[in-house]
Amino acid sequence: MSEPTPTDAALHSDSDILQLVSFEIGPEEYAIPILAVQEINRMMSITRVPNAPESVEGVINLRGRIIPVVDLRKKFGMDVSEDSADTRIIVVEVGDEGRVLGFMVDRVNQVLRLGRDIVDPAPSVSGATSADFIDGVGKLDDRLLILLNLDRLFADTELPETEIAQAA
Amino acid sequence: MNDMDAGLLQDFLTESGELIEQLDQDLVTLESAEGDDQSEVCNACFRALHTIKGAAGFLGLEAVTEFAHAAEDALNKLRKGEVAVTPPVMDLLLQSADVVRGQIEQLAAGDDPQRGDPALIEQLHAVANGTFGDAGAAPTQTDAEGQQSDEASGASGDLPGVPLELGPQKMDLIEFMAADLKEYVNQLDDAIDGIGNDATREESADSLAEIADNLVKTADFFELDDLTKLTQLLLDVAPKLHDAKHDLLDDIVVRVKACRSLIDEQADALENVRALSWPIDTFTQRLATLADGTAVEAGDHGNDVAKVLEIDGVTEVKPEASDDAGPIAKIEPDADSAAAPANAEAAKPEAEQRSGEDRRQGDRRQSAGAAAPEQTIRVEVGRLEELLNLVGQLVLSKNRINGVARDVRDTAGIDPDFAERVGEAAGDLDRLTGELQLGVMRTRMQPLAKLFDRYPRVVRDIARMADKKINLEVEGKETEVDKSVLEALADPLVHILRNSADHGIEPTEDRRGAGKDETGTIRLVAEHQGSHVRVAITDDGKGLNREVLAAKAIERGLTTPDACDKLSDNEVFRFIFEAGFSTAKQVSNLSGRGVGMDVVRTNIAKLNGTINIESKWGEGTTIEILIPLTVAIMPAMVVESKGEQYAIPLQTILEIVRPEDQAISSVQGQRVVRIRDTVLPLVDLRDRLMQPPADPSQRFAVVVKVGGTMAGLVVDRLIGQQEIVIKPLDDSYTQGGPFSGATIREDGQVCLILDVVDVLKSASAQLAKAA
């Protein structure tokens, strides 16, 4: 199975335009390739899984399939906030084996097309490897967009809980 | 790989895989069979190899064909009784079966099959030539060689131009190919009859073409010019019959019939290894012309096959001819040239043909079985999985409907009639879903024979290698279990059997010394027990030694001397399931690495099964496995622990009690409860689930038992018993907890299924620490 994953396909294809979904976690705005997104759901009840990694909120029933849900706030080391009416679970497919999981975001903003030329490589912060799962930063007129690499973001359960907020 | 049809290849893989399995079993049976049985089994082996070879040849898989061919030749010698069935020969043949299996597996993996080891092929040739090995072939060697040279001289001149295909050792293939040919010829009849009829002509022409295609392929094998011409002619003519001219039809049909009769004669003659040849040029040309729609001036044949053959000059006009000069030229096997017609000895072959008839009957009986209407169909596993998945979801919906029906009944102010109607409908749905579930489940059931039939080979190999005598008795192999259970059982059973054969059964001298029968016995028994299957492996070997195991367990830090003394024999024996636990002084080729039994426990646990060991030093060991019939759906007790719901497989639950305060006490820091006469350790589910602790009194203790361990699992509340559909919890984020899976509750939420083995394991670890 050497098929490129949706993430790869979107970010590393030759196309000059990236199609992204942007969302907010805390004060930052992030974006992921639209092809990686399976669906976006409203908050639903999540069943806690004891012994799961800290950032794993639990599991949900996605039409008969049990998938884990990750709280990106916890993963990014941010303060945990209350779920609001805007909280969403974005269900994505990552990795070569079609692993499906969901992650919680504070708000889903928009679908946007971004020219590759306005995306800068991830800033390297001295001594930090935390930018591992950042594919780049998109410079919009009024704001910055952090492009996440989902494969790397969810690659390892034992990923150190780095503070991506600072890196950005 | 070349661009062969993927579907064809798949068929080949499935079929050959099954045949190889069968071959394996048959070969082992062959070793112990006697007399007539032996030759029958031998024939079956030969047939299996031959079928594989044929199909592989058709697909152009040379590596497979080459090897299967060599093995077939060797087997042929056994079949004729020219080489005795001895362990070395059987080793060789079993190895060969493994090679072919390997090749098939390579194909399945998408690789090109590798050629067989030349040395192995050489040995097979040696068997075929009667020069194999030492003692094995010795008694019959001279005999075999004598026959060999006879055949060699006979065959070299037999069918000129084809010494390779029909070499001396391959003469017997002819019998099989001739049977095939005969079979196809017989199939022709219906097709030919249909051609005369306007309504069925097209269909018949198609089937004629199909049969002709088979005929051509079979005929190719013999490399007989005339046979090839005739079959090819049929193949060419068949498609043209779709729109054959009506007034020519009689002429055509009678010639097609004539064609059939000639091929038939050749097929019969082949039984006696005779090639026929006729002056058929006129005949073939006329039939071809007719098929193209041009009339042929030949003369009146009166729709008589014999007559038309005369008219077309195939047979001589000899009205009364029968015995003295046969109508058809026959070539003796040792004739110099196939083309040379010989009229002599026509009568003798006739007689031989008739005697050959009886033999052929036998062959035909088998093919008749295949022609019977099919009672089974092959279904892709994926479709069944899908179906099962749907039924699983249906069961969940049903549960929800039942929940709603209960609510309706319990809600005040609702018309009781209405509530009853809803209840009835829900009840019906419940029953139907149950039946549907059972039905779908059955489609996935397979007999344990699929596994059990492999084991004689496993045990035999170990016995051979360790130089022991072991007899494997198998019972209840018709017991059916779910496909996934079957698959998950495969490895554990092999490990247990290996253990029994390698470590359990003593060497022959030791057994003699102990006054036991020299031949050790391993019994493999399967039976249904309610919704479970019980598989027991019993050996009459040396049994497990408590002292040795205990010492080892203490050495490895699995327990302490004090704690160990308190353990029952059964509990001590269970240490063999720990990873890396091996008391074998030497790691043998077969076992002793301490990995196997760990696999056993893990796999059985995955199936929600339990495993028990009983053993008596010096008398033997019984390992008993109890597994649910299916892994997809199971009854469970749903419990609550601090507001969260968890399911406990019902099969592990012995009883549920509400311990009174005075029954709970503490032994060395471990809470225990006294229930009747037993003192059980209490495991608070809250501890295991990292919830804040609560006092065990006023709560429920679910008494669970897995393997030899029993404990009371303390929960807050009981929700009720339910059929739950097991969903995998296979994401790396959610693994690691004491859960075997998850299920979906009536309200659509996820409920985790407790892995009781895991829960108790960590509890007993705590126990050990406390002690």
Q: Which residues in chain B have their CB less than 8 angstroms from residue A101's CB?
A: 731, 733
- Please tell me the distance from the alpha carbon of residue B59 to that of residue B485, in angstroms, as a whole number: 34
Q: B664 — alpha (psi -120 to 50), left (phi > 0) or beta?
A: beta
Residue A92 has pLDDT above 90, yes or no: yes
Quote the pLDDT of residue B151: 39
- B501, B540 contact by CB (below 8 A): no
Residues of chain B with pLDDT under 70: 1-5, 132-176, 221-223, 271-274, 298, 316-374, 530-531, 579-596, 630-632, 696-697, 707-708, 762-771
Per the CB < 8 Å rule, is B393 touching A99?
no
Which pLDDT tens digit goes with each residue over A1-50?
444 455 554 555 556 788 999 999 988 899 999 999 999 999 988 999 98
Give this complex's ipTM.
0.80
Would you list the DSSP string of A23-45? EEETTEEEEEEGGGEEEEEE---
Angle at A125 between CA A124 and CA A130, to 5 degrees: 85
Q: What is the CATH number of domain A6-156?
A: 2.40.50.180
Helix/strand number for chain B, H first, E second: 25, 20
HSE value, Cβ hemisphere, 13 Å, CA-based, for A161? 14
- Please tell me the distance from the alpha carbon of residue B627 to that of residue B608, in angstroms, as a whole number: 7
The proportion of chain B whose per-residue pLDDT surpasses 90, expressed as a percent, equals 4
Q: How many CB pairs under 8 A join A and B?
A: 65
In this complex, is the C-beta atom of B574 within 8 Å of any C-beta atom belonging to chain A?
A: no
Which one, of B23, B26, B18, lies nearest residue B49 by Cα?
A: B23
In this complex, is the C-beta atom of A48 within 8 Å of any C-beta atom belonging to chain B?
A: yes
Per the CB < 8 Å rule, is B744 touching A64?
yes
- Please tell me the distance from the alpha carbon of residue B473 to that of residue B105, in angstroms, as a whole number: 29
In this complex, is the C-beta atom of A146 within 8 Å of any C-beta atom belonging to chain B?
A: no
> Helix (H, G, I), strand (E, B), or coil: what is residue A85?
coil
Quote the pLDDT of residue B730: 73
The Cα of A47 is separated from the nearest Cα of chain B by a number of Å equal to 6
Look at the alpha carbons of B136, B141, B143, B148 in this order and tell me if their dihedral is positive or negative.
Answer: positive
Residue B206's contacts (CB-CB under 8 Å, 6 or more residues apart) are B238
SS (H, E, C) B534-597: EEEEEECCCCCCHHHHHHHHHHCCCCCHHHHHHCCHHHHHHHHHCCCCCCCCCCCCCCCCCCHH
- Please tell me the distance from the alpha carbon of residue A132 to that of residue A123, in angstroms, as a whole number: 10
Q: Which two tokens stand for residue B92?
A: 């060789």
- B450, B483 contact by CB (below 8 A): no
> Tokens 């049969």 correspond to what residue?
B211
The Cα of B695 is separated from the nearest Cα of chain A by a number of Å equal to 20
The Cα of A133 is separated from the nearest Cα of chain B by a number of Å equal to 18
Count the neighbouring beta carbons within 10 Å of the beta carbon of residue B505: 28
Containing B681, the helix (H) or strand (E) segment is strand B678-684
In this complex, is the C-beta atom of A74 within 8 Å of any C-beta atom belonging to chain B?
A: no
> Tokens 């199975």 correspond to what residue?
A1
Domain ranges of chain A: 6-156
In this complex, is the C-beta atom of A45 within 8 Å of any C-beta atom belonging to chain B?
A: yes
Residue B72's contacts (CB-CB under 8 Å, 6 or more residues apart) are B46, B49, B50, B53, B173
Residue A105 has pLDDT above 90, yes or no: yes
Count the neighbouring beta carbons within 10 Å of the beta carbon of residue B380: 8
Quote the pLDDT of residue B330: 44
Among A68-72, A86-90, B441-445, B640-644, the minimum mean pLDDT is found in B441-445
- Please tell me the distance from the alpha carbon of residue B647 to that of residue B656, in angstroms, as a whole number: 14
- B175, B271 contact by CB (below 8 A): yes
Count the neighbouring beta carbons within 10 Å of the beta carbon of residue B88: 16
The Cα of A57 is separated from the nearest Cα of chain B by a number of Å equal to 10
In this complex, is the C-beta atom of A66 within 8 Å of any C-beta atom belonging to chain B?
A: yes
In this complex, is the C-beta atom of B738 within 8 Å of any C-beta atom belonging to chain A?
A: yes
Quote the pLDDT of residue B648: 92
- Please tell me the distance from the alpha carbon of residue B483 to that of residue B525, in angstroms, as a whole number: 19
Which one of B689, B733, B749 has the shortest CB-CB distance to A50? B689
Which one, of B306, B206, B323, lies nearest residue B262 by Cα?
A: B306
Quote the pLDDT of residue B290: 79
Mutate to test the interface with A, among B750, B758, B762 (most CBs of A within 10 A): B750
